[in-house]
Structure 1
Amino acid sequence: MELVFGLVTGVLFGFLLQRGQVLRYDVQLGALRLKDMTIVKFMLSHIMVAMVGIYLLNDLGLVKLSLKATVVGANALGGLIFGLGWGLVGYCPGTSLGAVGEGRLDALAAIAGMLVGAGIFARAYDGLLPTVYTWGDYGKITLAGVLGVNHWLVIAILIVAFAAILRFIERKGL
């Protein structure tokens, strides 16, 4: 049943990516050049919905959160590699798969890059553990936990902040 749920939500997310027009190369390039905020608007909207949904389901006991450790070194290195790949091929992982689904075969370069990168990471993982995975290891933390407040307060503040960012972007016509 979990696999069916994963498939359904994956197809739904892909549909929303396509409908939001974030699969288009020109939108991806516009985001990288800070000229088109379609992707930012799409992601902020989804983050707001997901924050509320995940924490509501968690509070109702329907799901259990599985926090991963916050490791600044690994996050910084991963973000750098992700950003370089996105900048080089013009697609991020989700949008590359969606673009291929739309028939844009240039996105196959991104998929090939992801597969090669995953293979390199798998081979380098043991060497990264004593180095990159120790730089800035804060363990399993949340913003609410660090601040010592209820998670709904943090969610409310983030939603107000994200809504303000979305409004600003809309007013600027981006």
Structure 2
Amino acid sequence: MIELITFNEFLGRLAQTFDASTIEAVKGPTSLYGGLILGLLFGIVLQKARLCKYDIVSGLFRLQDFTVFRVGTPILMVSVVLIFIFKDTGVFELHVPKTVIVPQIIGGLLFGAGIAIMGYCPGTAAGALGEGSLDAIPSILGMISGAVLYAEFFHDSWENTFLKWGAVGGKTFFEILNINHWYLIVLFLLMLTMFLIATTMFDIFIVFLRRTFNLFMELTDALEEKVPPATKPYAVSTLETVRKFRQNLRDLFK
């Protein structure tokens, strides 16, 4: 049964959010200041990599643009190495979130479908809005609305049912396999390197096909100009065949 909160309860939650003690609790070395700085740096990377463009993100799901992979894969590789170097040197502790297989798989599929439809993820949507892309506004509003609806109407009722399906705890692969984490990290880095090479080669292959197609179009255009049908009647059928072939190629590469 869905229960709506009262207006007074809503105002109470809002007051707690902006209460002086709440704001004071987030100050310090792990405060919002650090998040602000990291957010600015992350936004610069997104903007410079052109990941705040709708065509770039949506092109990933159409298998037409792998810029997201080419930018995200090196960032992931560097992040994994730095995180475990800091962990091993005692700079910070690693707190692994709990793994719950069923809701995380379903949530991941819904999240991916939302990105494919909107053309933005939460980070790129904020970056796109900063660039002045107004189509990011419905995306941001939708994300906020979805989070509020889930938190208010579904989380509490699912906490002991759906959100427990497939719970395996906060264990890592290193703990499950009982091996040194650097062995798996090196293997993971090799896999990411091969993946990065594969996506780059795929882009090169697509560019080669497009250039070959454009060259063929230019050659057939030159053939039509050099062989007038009026003086060489036998060329009419040949040119008509070429025109049909070119149109089929254009339809294929649309």
* TM-score when normalising by structure 1: 0.95
In structure 1, distance between residues paired with 2:203 and 2:172: 34
In structure 2, distance between residues paired with 1:156 and 1:50: 13
1:86 aligns with 2:100: no
Q: Which residue of 1 aligns with 2:140?
A: 111
1:39 aligns with 2:43: no
Out of 178, 185, 209, which is 1:148 matched to?
178
- Describe the superposition over 1:111-139 as per-residue Cα deviations: whole angstroms up to 9, x where unpaired: 00111111111021011112221111010
Q: Which amino acid aligns with 2:127?
A: G
Q: Is the 8 A contact 1:85 1:113 kept in 2?
A: no
1:58 aligns with 2:94: no
Q: Which residue of 2 aligns with 1:160?
A: 190
Return 29-38 or 74-83, whichever deviates more.
Answer: 74-83
Q: Which amino acid aligns with 1:167?
A: I
In structure 2, distance between residues paired with 1:12 and 1:165: 26
In structure 2, distance between residues paired with 1:83 and 1:168: 22
Runs in 1 of length 4+ with deviation above 6 angstroms?
none
In structure 2, distance between residues paired with 1:14 and 1:64: 26
Q: Displacement of 1:42 after TM fit? A: 1.6
In structure 2, distance between residues paired with 1:136 and 1:78: 14
Quote the sequence identity (%). Answer: 36
| Larger RCO, structures 1/2 (Cα 8 Å, 6+ apart) | 1
* TM-score when normalising by structure 2: 0.66
Q: Displacement of 1:15 after TM fit? A: 0.5
1:138 aligns with 2:145: no
- How many residues of Structure 1 are paired with residues of Structure 2 in the alignment? 174
Q: Is the 8 A contact 2:101 2:165 kept in 1?
A: yes
Q: Displacement of 1:22 after TM fit? A: 1.1
1:128 aligns with 2:153: no
Q: Is the 8 A contact 1:23 1:95 kept in 2?
A: yes
Q: Please give the root-mean-square deviation of Cα atoms over the aligned residues, in Å.
A: 1.2
In structure 1, distance between residues paired with 2:35 and 2:103: 27
Q: Which residue of 1 aligns with 2:42?
A: 13
Please, which runs of 5 or more residues in structure 2 have no aligned partner? 1-28, 205-254
Q: Displacement of 1:77 after TM fit? A: 2.3
Q: Which residue of 1 aligns with 2:20?
A: none
Q: Which residue of 2 aligns with 1:68?
A: 97
Q: Which amino acid aligns with 1:71?
A: V
In structure 2, distance between residues paired with 1:154 and 1:134: 28
Secondary structure, counterpart of 1:105 in structure 2? coil
Q: Is the 8 A contact 1:85 1:110 kept in 2?
A: no
- Describe the superposition over 1:82-141 as per-residue Cα deviations: whole angstroms up to 9, x where unpaired: 122212211111100000011101101110011111111102101111222111101011
Secondary structure, counterpart of 2:135 in structure 1? helix
Return 44-53 or 80-89, whichever deviates more.
Answer: 80-89
Larger radius of gyration: 2
